Chains A and B, each alone.
Chain A
Amino acid sequence: MSELKSGSNLEKVLKAGHFAFTGECGPPKGANVEHLKEKIAPLKGMVDAVNVTDNQTAVVRMSSWAASTIMCQEGVEPNFQMVCRDRNRLAIQSDILGVYAMGIRNMLCLSGDHQRFGNHPQSKNVYDIDSMQLIALVKQMRDEGTFMNGEAIDVPPRLFIGAASNPFADPFEFRVYRLAKKIEAGADFIQTQCIYNMEKFRQFIKRAVDMGLHEKCYILAGVTPMKSVGMATYMAKQVPGMDVPDSLIQRLRGAGKGKVAEEGIQFALEQIEEFKDMEGVAGVHLMAIEWEHRVPEIAERAGVLPRPVV
């Protein structure tokens, strides 16, 4: 981690040793630029970069690269997400060049939710390459200046490479090894799946630290405040690979009518406080789903403001 790989704000913040704070923004289900700008506005100055999701849950939305470009114009740094579900290696590489040309400097490499979840379950998927191979590809393009086939790139894309890790998916014992594999493949930073089971996450991060992974890569802990008991039970039962302990659901229920959202935020704030001192955790990735306007308040109360200028 000596010289800058991409020069992105997120990279500079992490490299300077600050506790990073990233956000998330889902593009609109349409070409509604004003709506997108409304969602982006509250994030300005509150986070170091904002993930722009790529047809998340396999539901068609404005393309992540286009929304990322608009975000750049609005003065907020995007973390462009790309899934392997919808593109083959030609489209992947051309989009990587495209986003870099448009000023995007962070990219999160994902396999992507299967289309069977989404609103076009009849579609054909691609999965020409997987997320691990995507990470390696972006690194090859950046560091070796070559395409996957070995041909030289005229001005290679210099991107800060992100990857996801879900400590709560099965088999649990293998998860830290898969994280290690992603780092080995070229991930500069990791954003984890939403964490609710803190005890399990402590075990996971301890194993990562024991393996020295935190010294090779920045690990950002994923936090999503629960907005309602319904959201919590849905996540617990319906979202594969999500671990929501009963104790949290009980806590939210106990908060009483009209106070559940505040209790959800309170839990998120307690998590962030613990992550600040947790060895191996370099920051928090706040995924406030359709709650972008609450991010300033959460950031303020979490004590992560003002964001460092580096």
Chain B
Amino acid sequence: MIVADRKPLKEILEMLKGYNRILVVGCKGCVSVCNVGGSKEVGILASILKIAGKKNGLNLKVDEKTLERQCDPEYVELLKDMVDDYDVILSMACGVGPQFLSERYPESRCLPAVNTTFFGGAVQHGVWSERCAGCGTCVIHFFDGMCPIARCSKSLLNGPCGGSADGKCEISKDVDCIWDMIVRKKMEQGRLDDLLKFMPAKDWTTARDGGPRKSVREELVQ
């Protein structure tokens, strides 16, 4: 899923300065699963904004709406009879959400309430960890299902570097060295030879380096 963190309240309040009618829009997709932008979190943020408004002597109109997804025009469309009643739409979806809202409702101001962080999953309750960098050419079959592009701090394809110690990355004891895990798994399974092969330089044209990307599925295009 796409993982996100809510922006600090101070930053959100700064963005909202001067707006009195606010629509907080959640998303039932990834951000709902990672407990940052679903209907529950929308409700919490709306309450916080009202309280903060009162503290500052403002009577804010803060309403809530959570869409099935904000990355799909058919659901974004459902806001069409509402948006004109608000000065600002505060999206709690990943970075895609506020952009889709802006594109559909160009007259409205659409702001992000979260920082989109990475593609990952829950490793324990309340903890998410990065797994994919979206580079556009998956190579994890070479590394027993582990991705050094996303999970090695230097994206090494011929690791591990000299900073690997006790299974941890040189940048922090909180970061696992993915190369340590790759090597150990290969050794345990008797396939160390795989790692003796030189991995050539990656072609980054399919990654963000090749420019903004688009995926076209001809059979679906009408």
Q: Is B109 an interface residue (CB 8 A)?
A: no
Q: Which of B154, B157, B164, B168 has the most CB of A within 10 A?
A: B154
Residue of B nearest to A133 (CB): B201
**Distance A117 CA – B169 CA, assembled complex (angstroms):** 12
Q: A111-B154, A169-B160, A241-B163 are in contact. List 12 more A-B contacts (CB 8 A).
A: A114-B154, A114-B171, A117-B171, A125-B154, A130-B156, A133-B200, A169-B162, A170-B177, A170-B180, A173-B187, A174-B187, A174-B195
Q: Is the CB of B204 within 8 A of A177?
A: no
**Distance A275 CA – B195 CA, assembled complex (angstroms):** 30
**Distance A130 CA – B153 CA, assembled complex (angstroms):** 12
Q: Is the CB of A177 within 8 A of B196?
A: yes
Q: Is the CB of B180 within 8 A of A181?
A: no
For A169-209 the 0/1 string (1 means CB < 8 A from B) is: 11101100110110011000000010000000000000000
A residues touching B (Cβ–Cβ < 8 Å)? 84-85, 89, 111-114, 116-117, 125, 127-133, 136-137, 148, 164-166, 169-171, 173-174, 177-178, 180-181, 184-185, 193, 240-241
**Distance A131 CA – B200 CA, assembled complex (angstroms):** 11
Interface residues of B in 136-180 (CB under 8 A from A): 153-172, 177, 180
Q: Is the CB of B154 within 8 A of A127?
A: yes
What residues of chain A lie closer than 8 Å to B163, measured between beta carbons? 113-114, 169, 240-241
B residues touching A (Cβ–Cβ < 8 Å)? 153-172, 177, 180, 183-184, 187, 192, 195-196, 198-202, 204
Q: Is the CB of B165 within 8 A of A241?
A: yes
**Distance A169 CA – B156 CA, assembled complex (angstroms):** 16
What residues of chain A lie closer than 8 Å to B201, measured between beta carbons? 89, 128-129, 133, 137, 148
The minimal Cβ–Cβ distance linking A213 to chain B, given in whole angstroms, is: 13
Q: Which of A125, A129, A132, A169 has the most CB of B within 10 A?
A: A169
Residue of A nearest to B154 (CB): A127
The minimal Cβ–Cβ distance linking A210 to chain B, given in whole angstroms, is: 16
Q: Is the CB of B170 within 8 A of A85?
A: no
Q: Is the CB of B170 within 8 A of A240?
A: yes
Q: Is the CB of B162 within 8 A of A164?
A: yes
Q: Is the CB of A136 within 8 A of B162?
A: no
Q: Is the CB of A177 within 8 A of B154?
A: no
The minimal Cβ–Cβ distance linking A171 to chain B, given in whole angstroms, is: 5
A sample of 17 inter-chain contacts (CB < 8 A) reads A113-B163, A114-B163, A114-B170, A114-B171, A128-B204, A130-B156, A131-B158, A133-B157, A148-B201, A164-B162, A170-B167, A171-B160, A171-B164, A171-B184, A193-B162, A240-B168, A240-B170
What residues of chain B lie closer than 8 Å to A165, measured between beta carbons? 162
The minimal Cβ–Cβ distance linking A267 to chain B, given in whole angstroms, is: 22
Q: Is the CB of B198 within 8 A of A111?
A: no
What residues of chain A lie closer than 8 Å to B169, measured between beta carbons? 240
Residue of B nearest to A167 (CB): B162
Q: Is the CB of B171 within 8 A of A116?
A: yes
The minimal Cβ–Cβ distance linking B172 to chain A, given in whole angstroms, is: 8
The minimal Cβ–Cβ distance linking B181 to chain A, given in whole angstroms, is: 10
**Distance A137 CA – B201 CA, assembled complex (angstroms):** 9
Contacting residue for B158 out of A125, A128, A133, CB 8 A = A133
The minimal Cβ–Cβ distance linking B169 to chain A, given in whole angstroms, is: 8
What residues of chain B lie closer than 8 Å to A136, measured between beta carbons? 198, 200
**Distance A40 CA – B164 CA, assembled complex (angstroms):** 32
Q: Is the CB of B165 within 8 A of A170?
A: yes
What residues of chain B lie closer than 8 Å to A169, measured between beta carbons? 160-165
What residues of chain A lie closer than 8 Å to B177, measured between beta carbons? 170
What residues of chain A lie closer than 8 Å to B156, measured between beta carbons? 111, 127, 130-132
**Distance A164 CA – B163 CA, assembled complex (angstroms):** 12
Q: Which of A85, A128, A171, A178 has the most CB of B within 10 A?
A: A171
The 5 closest A-B pairs by CB, nearest first: A166-B162, A132-B158, A240-B170, A130-B156, A240-B165
What residues of chain A lie closer than 8 Å to B196, measured between beta carbons? 177, 180-181
What residues of chain B lie closer than 8 Å to A117, measured between beta carbons? 170-171
Contacting residue for B153 out of A114, A132, A166, CB 8 A = A114
What residues of chain A lie closer than 8 Å to B180, measured between beta carbons? 170-171
Residue of B nearest to A182 (CB): B158
Q: Which of A125, A130, A180, A193 has the most CB of B within 10 A?
A: A130
Q: Is the CB of B164 within 8 A of A177?
A: no
The minimal Cβ–Cβ distance linking B165 to chain A, given in whole angstroms, is: 4
What residues of chain A lie closer than 8 Å to B172, measured between beta carbons? 116
What residues of chain B lie closer than 8 Å to A85, measured between beta carbons? 154
**Distance A171 CA – B183 CA, assembled complex (angstroms):** 8
The minimal Cβ–Cβ distance linking A114 to chain B, given in whole angstroms, is: 5
